[in-house]
Amino acid sequence: MGAGPGVASGIHDDWLEEACMGHGLSAEVQALVYAAAKSWDDEVRAEALLAEAAQRAPDHAAVLIARYRFYFYRNRLDDALLVACDCLAKAASDIRAPLDWRAVEPSHANFDSYGVLPRFYLFALKGYAYLNMRLGNLGEGAQALDKLEHLDPTDRLNGSVLRGVLDRMGRDDDD
């Protein structure tokens, strides 16, 4: 099986450090996430470790991000999409926004800031849009991308790159 970024070269700590943002993660759960990163080449073991981490800390951003990345880099996009939905729900709850991303407006959070919570929400929405596009759910992906552009009008998260991909989908290379 292929390895995720940084893992193939043996740099497990970068993946772990990025996945373990946030406070309040118990040492036991952090150890599970770390062990999953170290077990990248054993997909069954890594997934089991992440499942145990999710059972112990189901709503912790670090666990959600680790699970999302695991499925994404394993090219298990259906599973990654499910976790992206969990990330959106967690982020919406944290910023006290509607759970339905379609109802979220710029007034729900300071999306122009570099604050962790609004940024987590935007990244989760971008991941949701991207995964839907990759899975052929172009209408859903386009709507999520529209919402991302509405919440991030200065394009700090580079949603315009996804827009370019979406606009080119279905065209011949000669177009």
Query: What's the pLDDT at 24?
Result: 80
Q: How far apart are CA 135 and CA 77, in angstroms?
A: 7
List CB contacts of 100: < 8 A, sequence separation 6 or more: none
Query: What's the pLDDT at 172?
Result: 55
List CB contacts of 132: < 8 A, sequence separation 6 or more: 81, 138, 140, 141, 144
More confident residue, 172 or 143: 143
Query: Over 90: is that where the pLDDT of 56 sits?
Result: yes
Query: What's the pLDDT at 11?
Result: 37
Number of alpha carbons in the 13 Å side-chain half-sphere of residue 25 = 26
Sign of CA dihedral 97, 121, 53, 24: negative
Angle at 164 between CA 117 and CA 144, to 5 degrees: 40
Q: Tell me how far the alpha carbon of residue 170 is from its chain's centroid.
A: 25
Q: At what angle do helices 116-134 and 159-168 cross, to 10 degrees?
A: 10
Backbone angles phi, psi at 98, to 5 degrees: -60, 145
What's the pTM? 0.82
Query: What's the pLDDT at 171?
Result: 66
Query: What's the pLDDT at 125?
Result: 98
Tracing tokens 């919406």 back to the chain, one arrives at 92
Query: Over 90: is that where the pLDDT of 32 sits?
Result: yes
Query: Over 90: is that where the pLDDT of 18 sits?
Result: no
pLDDT tens string 123-167 = 999 999 999 999 999 999 999 999 999 999 999 999 999 999 998
Query: Over 70: is that where the pLDDT of 22 sits?
Result: no
Residue spans per domain, the chain: 1-75, 80-170
The counts of H helices and E strands in the chain are 8, 0
DSSP 2: P
pLDDT tens string 60-104 = 999 999 999 999 999 999 999 999 999 999 999 989 999 999 999
